[in-house]
Structure 1
C-alpha cells in the first residue's frame, strides 16, 4: 500500500489527463492517483478508465454527476483517502500549472521537515507565476496579502491549490463543516488547519498557466475569496476548533 495519494479534480481535461497521470506515475516515490471527475462531457473519464488497465493498482477514479464545485470534489477525495489510510494526501490541478516534479518536495516538507500541511507557494520567494496576464497576477497576489492580513495566518500564498496534508489534519478537521465550494475553499482549509494548531510550511514553486484546455477561473471566484474571508474570520470568533493531538 502506497503512503501517498494525489487527488486531481477534473472537468473537461481530455487534453491534459493522460500526460498528467503519466508524469505522476513516473515519479520514483510511487504516488497513487485519485481522479474526481464531475461528469466531463469531453470524455475525460473514458481516458482515465483506459489508463486504469495499465495502472490498475495505482490509478483510481470517483465519478460524480455534473459540476459540484472544487471544494466538494476535494472533500469527497479526502474522505476516500482517509478511509484507505493514506499517510499523505495531495491536492493538484490537472493542467500542469502545478509541476508534478514538485510533489516529492511537498512530501519531504511533511515527511522529513515536520510540516502538517505543505503548500506549493507562488509568493514565498517573490512572484513565481508564468504566462498569466499582469492583472491576474496582481489580483491573485493582493488577494493573498489581504487574506493573510485578515486571518492572521503567516502564509504568503493563501489561495494556493497545490498542497500536501498529513492524514491527521484531515481527520481532525470536520470536513462536513467546510462551507466554501469554490476557490475560497482553499482559504478555508488553510485557515481551519491553522486554527487547529497544525504546522504549515510553504515550499517555493513556479506556477505555469495552463497551455491546453480551458481555465475554470472567473471574477466570481475572487469575489468569493474577498467576502468569504471576512465571514470566515467573523465566524471563527464564535467557533471552537478541534486541536492537534487532542486526545
Structure 2
C-alpha cells in the first residue's frame, strides 16, 4: 500500500530531523511536513532531512493537516499517517499503527498513549484528565470506545476524505474520531509509547493553550450531536 505521512510543524527545528530520520523508509512512500508559519528553521531542516515541505501561513493544527490533505489528493495514497513534529511519539512504531489496516482492513487506527508506556512528565495532569473526559463523552454520546485522542494515527485515505474534516485548530483529533463513529467506520486502537517532547509545548505548555484546547475539544463533541 502507498503510505504518506503528514507532519504539522510549528517551530520544531530542534526535533523535526529526529522525527523524519526514524520513520521507516521501507514502509513509507513520502513524508510531508507542513510548516505552520514557523519563525525558526523548521522548513529548512525538514527539507534537508528529505521531506516534502508545504507552507501553511494560517496558524492552527487543523489548518496544517488540511493543507497536507490537499497535497495528498494529488498523490492518491492508500493510507495517511498523522505524526507530531515534537519527537514525543516513536516514529518506528508506525509499522504497528498501519498493520491493522493492511492485515485486517480497518479504516482507522489510533495510537493510544493511555495503553502504552508514558515517560514521566510526558503528559500534564490537565492533558490526562482532558483525554479521560473527552473519551468518556465520546462513549456516552457516540457509543464508541477510545482511550485517547492521540495525534499519532493512521487512516485509509478514501475514508479520511469521506469524513470531510473541518476543524482548523484544537478540535481536529476528536472531530475525526467522532465522525468515524457516526459513519460506522471500522476503527481500533493500538498501544504506543510516549516521551517528553523536545522543547516546550505550544498548547499544554501554557495555561491559555490548555484551556483553549480543552474548550475546543468539548464544544466539538457537542457540535456534531
> Same fold, TM exceeding 0.5?
yes
User: Any idea what the Cα deviations from partners look like across 1:119-161, whole Å, max 9, x if unmatched?
Assistant: 10123x4x7432234443233323322333233222222x221
Q: Distance in 2 between matches of 1:214 and 1:133?
A: 12
Range moving further from structure 2, 86-95 or 182-191: 182-191
User: Any idea what the Cα deviations from partners look like across 1:163-201, whole Å, max 9, x if unmatched?
Assistant: 1111120232334xx2x2222111111111222221111
How do 1:1-247 residues align onto structure 2 when only pairs under 5 Å count?
A: 3-24=2-23, 26-51=24-49, 55=50, 59-67=51-59, 69-123=60-114, 125=115, 128-130=117-119, 131=121, 132-157=123-148, 159-175=149-165, 178=166, 180-210=167-197, 212-217=198-203, 218=209, 219-233=211-225
Q: Distance in 1 between matches of 2:28 and 2:169?
A: 30
Q: Distance in 1 between matches of 2:128 and 2:3?
A: 31
For the aligned residues, what is the CA RMSD? 1.9
- Give the structure-2-normalised TM-score: 0.88
Sort the Cα spacing of 1:172 and 1:231 in 2 relative to 1 into closer, same or farther, 3 A. Answer: closer
- Give the structure-1-normalised TM-score: 0.80
Asked if the contact 1:129–1:137 (Cα under 8 Å) also holds between the matched residues in 2, the reply is: no
Asked if the contact 2:9–2:33 (Cα under 8 Å) also holds between the matched residues in 1, the reply is: yes
Structure 2: gaps (5+ residues): 204-208
Sort the Cα spacing of 1:196 and 1:143 in 2 relative to 1 into closer, same or farther, 3 A. Answer: closer
Asked if the contact 2:150–2:173 (Cα under 8 Å) also holds between the matched residues in 1, the reply is: yes
SS at 1:71 equivalent: helix
Count, aligned residues: 217
